[in-house]
Structure 1
Amino acid sequence: MTTEPVHQPPTYQSTWDALIETMRLLWPTPATIGVAPDPHDQGHGDQGHGEGERARTAAGVPGGHRVVREFLVLPDRRHPRVALPVSTARVTAEALRKHSQALSLGERAVRTALSGLVRLPGVHPGLARVAPHRIRVSVPQGRSAESFEDHLAGILGHEVVVAIGVGQPRANRKPVLHALTPEGDTVAYVKVGTKEPTKVLVRDEAAALGSFWSADRPTTTLRVPRVLHHGRWRGLEVLVLAPLRPESGHWRRRTVPLSAMRELAGHFGTTESTLAQSPVWGLAQDTPDALRDADRARRFDRILAEAGARHGDTKLMLGAWHGDWTPWNMAWSGDHVLLWDFERFATGVPFGYDLTHYRLQATLRDAGEEGAGRHVRRQLATDPAHRVPTDDIVFSGNDPEAVWIAYLVELARRYTLASEPAEGAPLRARTTWLLDLLDDLVLRR
């Protein structure tokens, strides 16, 4: 006789649950978040505040309530990517647009087609009627309720509606809001820190962008967002950014932005140091003591000791790096590079970090871990005939092997710390892969 395995629920919030929680934070009590029943999914049930709210109308709204905002969840509630406000065709069309460099031609075509389609007469009302996956925000009749949209309106000086994205499960997941006027014009993007780790990231991004603009050094290629507001609302950390978007028809380009990377690296000036004396290596040395997992701490410490023995005395040019420069955090606009998501920005790192991160993350996306491992080994091949040429404009004369190893140690530091909380569970397999790769590169080579 066989026994069926007991299903263990995930130890982290699903994307759907995170979206519902976000709605409750943005429209607090007495507002109620109602979920329209999905006839194809009996597993979720109603996502209200408690048992007393399960007796809802078919529209997911309690009796005696009026709807103040309605959202369509796309593509569906099993895999929610964005909650679009049911407002006007122009609002929906604008909220559907996306400008990341990582979009394939097919994805861009679909986004563009959908954005254009909802503007056609009759399409938007029909979509709002038939879309099965929707969330409604309601308040009791005769009562008003403070909302985050009201707070944003006070900051920006006019009424706004927001589209909401929450992303896949991860330790640094946080809501990102697309703020639009009721007429459908984009006016801001908003980061919201809901828990302490994400509040820290929002504060760090605000500080990084403030430092960038206060440096008062003009850039030739690079464009980054300006901070419109940084503050708090009902315990949330709020960062409001001016929109940074490509000019129509000129944003798609596949080249790696080497000149922009070099420009950012030197934006705050440069210093020289051995790797062992650099600020980023100091952070790595503090990591084992910060880990709760004793085995992983010992493993990280062994890797760190061997990498330091090999490259600690290597002299390197140090500057700034974005911290997460990937195709999906940027776009080309003519000859300019638009770059966002500065929450991992840091100074005192070797020139070349942004390029190594860009190439590793893009390879992981396109070829998986096996392909990314091959890519790194080609970068570090001892036979020059098999080594990938170095982009010296970005490395600025730094030893590529020392930069790659130091970067991988920094990434392992980030991953090991981020994977320990329950929300970091999705990152644990990737962390193990990265530590295995470093083992192979510095302990077994």
Structure 2
Amino acid sequence: MTGRATASTDPRTRTDGLGWVTRAVFGAEQVGLTMAGRPPTGHRTVARYAIVPSVRRARFLLPLGSPRATAASLLAYNALRPPRVRAARAVLGGLARLGGLELARLPVLTVSLPDAVAAEEALLSHRLAAVLGGGAAYAACGVRPPDPNHKPTLQLFAPNGRPLGFAKIGWNDATRALVTAEAAALRELPALARVPGHPVAPRLLAELRWAGRSVALVQPLPPAVRGLSTTADPEVAAVLAVARRGRPPAQHRPLAGSSFLARLTRTAHRAVATMSADTRAVVAAARLASRHGETLVEFGHWHGDWVPWNLGRQADRLVAWDWEHSAPDVPLGFDLAHDAFQRALVLRGSSAAAAAGAVDLQLRRYGDALGLNQAGQRLVADAYLLELWLRTWRLANAGAGWNPALHPALLELLARRDHR
């Protein structure tokens, strides 16, 4: 295989996070990767990365060659991170700014290409730099445990440390679909920038297909953006602005006959067709229609992953990113339901049943602001939980595997809720 280093030095042969990320980012056949320092014979070095903190416990690939770009890859958007992470990055970033990472004896990943191969043809970071105008760019990459639902991301910086863009890489069916969906959502959002209360969203700079990958290159977040407290009240006015997109409140319509219910039911049937003898999703959709068919609710857009860690604030404007699950024509209130469920599940370690209880509580608290009576609140909660399970199935069916916190717990929970 041209350009491949030996198994002992090429991280792409590994089964851990470092192996997964390097296969996704440096998968082109011509690319040589080595952790032994020297590129293969006939290759030239085109990039070098510090593997932090070690090969076995890799968490970052930090670009070498420009101390300011290396430091920026650690310090940019540090205010969005938890205090302990922020402190560790600040120390490393200060060391990098002084050129200390080169002297810190960290393991180094060397990227090389045959002399006849142009970097823009074989390396995603160089292709993205060309899309951005052709200047030099340094790419930083986080390393996470292997997961078919995770998307490798590249942060691109100019030699002076200025952020240039943020690239998400879809590498399998599940992640390619998410990257494509986010790109489609981001194309529509600039038209909503003047809608009162609507959050600011990063602009889509480019969407491309590269070596079997789907890549969305997104504008950097505003430098002054600050994270939201995970205990702060939800941003109800912004949720309404996302749902209505500058239009007045829509007339409430029954769930029965809605395109949402039709879509939900079709997806449930598709899911059941892939699950031997397990019809619970179709049963849940039918019970939802039977129980809530005549309930009137407003339909609109939703962000799809409305949680504090996907939100920030710059001055007086809310900033929202990660729009890969955004969709139209869902019952208004889905974003608040998701916010409550994920805060309970992720931040408090609650079970799916306890997280569903948090959804009920949040919808009762803000139901009036959303125009939801008690029946509408129950509809939104039950429909959201089924929608969340169907999302879990879509990811599993596309190769991401089941999320054990949500399957089969959500199907069991929906069956119990039907008898409340």
Tell me what 1:418 maps to.
395
User: Letter of the aligned partner of 1:230 in structure 2?
Assistant: E
Question: Please, which of 125, 131, 140 is the counterpart of residue 106 of structure 2?
Answer: 131
Moved more, 69-78 or 410-419: 69-78
Question: Please, which of 312, 326, 339 is the counterpart of residue 331 of structure 1?
Answer: 312
Deviations 1:118-172 (A, max 9, x none): 32x3523223xx113x422112457644322332222111221211236444444
Tell me what 2:408 maps to.
432
Tell me what 1:115 maps to.
93
User: Letter of the aligned partner of 1:202 in structure 2?
Assistant: V
User: Letter of the aligned partner of 2:203 in structure 1?
Assistant: R
Cα separation, 2, equivalents of 1:407 and 1:360: 10
Is 2:344 aligned against 1:344?
no
User: CA separation of 1:200/1:115 partners in 2, compared to 1, >3 Å: closer, same or farther?
Assistant: same
Tell me what 1:390 maps to.
365
Tell me what 2:81 maps to.
103
Question: Please, which of 22, 25, 48 is the counterpart of residue 24 of structure 2?
Answer: 22
Mapped contact 1:100–1:329 kept (Cα < 8 A) = no
Cα separation, 1, equivalents of 2:318 and 2:266: 35
User: Letter of the aligned partner of 1:179 in structure 2?
Assistant: L
Q: How does 1:231-270 map to 2 (within 5 A)?
A: 231-247=208-224, 251=227, 253-254=229-230, 255=232, 256-267=234-245, 269=247, 270=250
Deviations 1:252-285 (A, max 9, x none): 5452322222211111644532223333322220
Is 2:194 aligned against 1:220?
no
Cα separation, 1, equivalents of 2:288 and 2:76: 40
Question: Please, which of 308, 321, 326 is the counterpart of residue 289 of structure 2?
Answer: 308
Alignment partner of 1:243: what SS?
coil
Moved more, 317-326 or 427-436: 427-436
- Please report how far the alpha carbon of residue 233 of structure 1 lies from its aligned counterpart in structure 2 after TM superposition: 3.3
Alignment partner of 1:356: what SS?
helix
Alignment partner of 2:348: what SS?
helix
Is 2:72 aligned against 1:94?
yes
Alignment partner of 2:112: what SS?
strand
Question: Please, which of 388, 391, 409 is the counterpart of residue 386 of structure 2?
Answer: 409
Tell me what 1:206 maps to.
183
User: CA separation of 1:430/1:60 partners in 2, compared to 1, >3 Å: closer, same or farther?
Assistant: farther
Deviations 1:231-257 (A, max 9, x none): 333443232211123516x55545232
User: Letter of the aligned partner of 1:159 in structure 2?
Assistant: A
Tell me what 1:294 maps to.
276
With structure 1 as the length reference, what TM-score do the two structures score?
Answer: 0.79
Is 2:334 aligned against 1:320?
no
Mapped contact 2:256–2:294 kept (Cα < 8 A) = yes
User: Letter of the aligned partner of 1:374 in structure 2?
Assistant: A
Mapped contact 2:169–2:179 kept (Cα < 8 A) = yes
User: CA separation of 1:345/1:80 partners in 2, compared to 1, >3 Å: closer, same or farther?
Assistant: farther
Alignment partner of 1:66: what SS?
strand
Cα separation, 1, equivalents of 2:184 and 2:294: 32
Mapped contact 1:61–1:138 kept (Cα < 8 A) = yes
Query: Could you list the runs of 5+ residues in structure 2 that have no partner in the other structure?
Result: 1-14
Alignment partner of 1:431: what SS?
coil
Moved more, 372-381 or 228-237: 372-381
Is 2:33 aligned against 1:33?
yes
Tell me what 2:337 maps to.
356
Cα separation, 1, equivalents of 2:76 and 2:297: 38
- Please report how far the alpha carbon of residue 380 of structure 1 lies from its aligned counterpart in structure 2 after TM superposition: 3.9
Moved more, 155-164 or 388-397: 388-397
Mapped contact 2:389–2:406 kept (Cα < 8 A) = no
Deviations 1:317-337 (A, max 9, x none): 111101111222222223322
Cα separation, 1, equivalents of 2:79 and 2:245: 23
Mapped contact 1:32–1:139 kept (Cα < 8 A) = yes
Deviations 1:305-361 (A, max 9, x none): 222222122110111101111222222223322111111110101111111111111
Cα separation, 2, equivalents of 1:17 and 1:394: 48
Is 2:178 aligned against 1:197?
no
- Please report how far the alpha carbon of residue 222 of structure 1 lies from its aligned counterpart in structure 2 after TM superposition: 1.1
Query: Could you list the runs of 5+ residues in structure 1 that have no partner in the other structure?
Result: 1-12, 37-57, 382-386
User: Letter of the aligned partner of 2:396 in structure 1?
Assistant: S
User: Letter of the aligned partner of 1:109 in structure 2?
Assistant: A
Cα separation, 2, equivalents of 1:100 and 1:395: 34
Q: How does 1:135-214 map to 2 (within 5 A)?
A: 135-140=109-114, 144-145=118-119, 146=121, 147-157=123-133, 158-165=135-142, 167-214=144-191
User: Letter of the aligned partner of 1:16 in structure 2?
Assistant: L
Is 2:265 aligned against 1:285?
yes
User: CA separation of 1:277/1:15 partners in 2, compared to 1, >3 Å: closer, same or farther?
Assistant: farther
Cα separation, 1, equivalents of 2:265 and 2:363: 29
Q: What percentage of residue pairs aligned between the two structures are identical?
A: 29
Cα separation, 1, equivalents of 2:359 and 2:398: 33
Q: CA RMSD in A?
A: 2.8
